[in-house]
Amino acid sequence: MGARLFRVFIPVADYDAAVKYYSALLGDEGRMIHRGRHYFDAGSVIIAVIENGGSPISDHLYFAVPDIENYFDRASKLGGLEEDSVHGSPSGEIHVRPWGERSFYCRDPFGNGLCFVDETTLFTGSR
């Protein structure tokens, strides 16, 4: 089968605030591994919130979700919806993108980019 992705680190400056944010956004409490490291399951990939002073991830993490409106509502309440555009449509609103995905973009309080995609519209390079 070859290599498979199993864990992604999200660097944060405030561990407690990050756990609270991601628990609310993802609708899941996750699990503390030890102080400064908290895991959230995202299918077969672990999202590891790690307290450190490093820079935010350089691009977005993309989540396939069954109920995009529910995630959008939570993200709206938490703040951080992006205000840019993606190929001419507002990134912080639910839109169908030119490649067919229905999605919205936001940033956590630490600057990490997140994108939520309606799982029924995923584009994986082939149709």
What pLDDT, in 10s, does the model give residues 36-70? 999 999 999 999 999 998 789 999 999 999 999 99
Burial class (CB in 10 A: 0-12, 13-18, 19+), 25: buried
3-class secondary-structure state, position 60: strand
Predicted confidence band at 16 (pLDDT cuts at 50, 70, 90)?
A: very high
d(CA 32, CA 66): 25
Domains defined along the chain, listed by start: 7-121 (3.10.180.10)
Residues 6+ away with beta carbon under 8 Å from 81: 75, 92, 93, 104, 105, 106
Percent of the chain whose predicted confidence (pLDDT) is above 90: 92
Beta bridge partners, 99, equal none
Q: pTM for the whole thing?
A: 0.93
